[in-house]
Amino acid sequence: MSKPPIRPAQEPLPTLMQRDGFSPDLPASLAPGALKGSTPLVLRVLMYMFRGIRIGSLDVRLPNGTLRHFKGSEPGPHGQVHLHDASVVRHVLAGGEVGFGDAYLAGAWDTPDLTELLTVLYLNEPYYKGPFEFNRLGRIWGYIQHKRRANSKPKARANIEHHYDLGNDFYQLWLDATMAYSSAVYAEPAQPLYDAQINKFRHMAERLDLKPEHHLLEIGSGWGGFAIYAATHYGCKVHSITLSSEQLAEAVRRAEQAGVADRVHFELRDYRDVVGQYDRVVSIEMYEAVGEEYWPTYFSAIEKALKPGGRAAIQGITISAKIFDEYRVKRDFIQKYIFPGGMLCPPGKFQDLALVAGLRPEAPRFFAIDYADTLAEWHRRVLDVRDEVVRMFDERFLRMWRYYLSYCECGFRVGSIDLMQITLVKPG
């Protein structure tokens, strides 16, 4: 597994704390002064665990103000965490990795840099002293809860609504003008997010070899960004399907505004209910929500929807084959809070499933750092509108969303997950 690059020297801690939403900006109910009563004996369990750190370093400030420093024998990133009370230990013993995220949502700890801290913790997970994932019953219970949200037809729409129907106003606060809620592809590191999203659209259209006479099926509309781009720049007809009523309404509005409503048709429909055949199929970061038991159905649906000789372009998040077996038998933070019923597939298995369905995989390319950079930009944008987010929801929701963005950014930077673009061809 590749290690993330060590970041340049950080800003002075007080400045960074204020910018990144550290304790000075927390509401009274979550402020450090409101969370007293830590038990040193309990916290020693956590300190004992951190003694195993081998990569990078970690500063831990205890509730009484004491600072503990842990340094590994190998160079790596530097994490900082301020423990507000001893409930962190209870959360970790109950839920392991997910429990540490639960503790953050509860306001039990903070950090000036979430991604850096999570990176240190992830890289050192094999080396901690003591059982980090101690509660096996908790892991089994989490797995059962995840399986209960499997994406059968009745549950798939509820799972999608859980995330995407938070409201268009929320996503408009921090997404760019394309409203693309998927990774951008950067032509250069300093490229603006909007331009990088358009660059992603171009990459996908070129994989499809789109022509004006083509009829394109899009599985997963988002807010209509790619469908509008394809109709505008290539003159093709697009049939785009989604399970989110919020996205559907906004996509229809945006297509009308762009003057392509006569060429783009959005519909509330499950991919398993598609009828007819199309010249091309595109699916951008939708398969992740399908669920492992429905992957064969997903690829079969694409194959059936394509005319002979047609091609599909897929952009999706993959997971390292090295950790897949462990990942697939537990519930992680994303599955618990963000995408219930979701599951990531290793790239090799993804291509094998496509082959079994009668589709020939071609030209896979990977863009992990592009996704990490996209997530970092989204995180900055969320912080810029933090007050509006708290007014829409609450402080706990903001912390959940920030943890989600940093958790994913960490995954892409350390190489546990990746972003793949791939072409699937149906023989003529």
Q: Could you give the residue numbers annotated as active site? A: 408
Tokens matching residue 381:
């944008």
SS3 at position 242: strand
CA distance 313 to 206: 9
Beta carbons within 10 angstroms of residue 394's beta carbon: 12
Cβ-proximal residues to 401 (8 Å cutoff; 6+ apart), any chain: 382, 389
Cβ-proximal residues to 239 (8 Å cutoff; 6+ apart), any chain: 215, 216, 217, 218, 265, 267, 278
CB-neighbour burial class of residue 191 (10 A; exposed 0-12, middle 13-18, buried 19+): middle
Which of 368, 370, 330 is CA-nearest to residue 347?
368
Chain-centroid distance, C-alpha 205: 23
Phi, psi of 189 (to 5 degrees): -55, -35
Report whether 202 contacts 194 (CB < 8 A): no
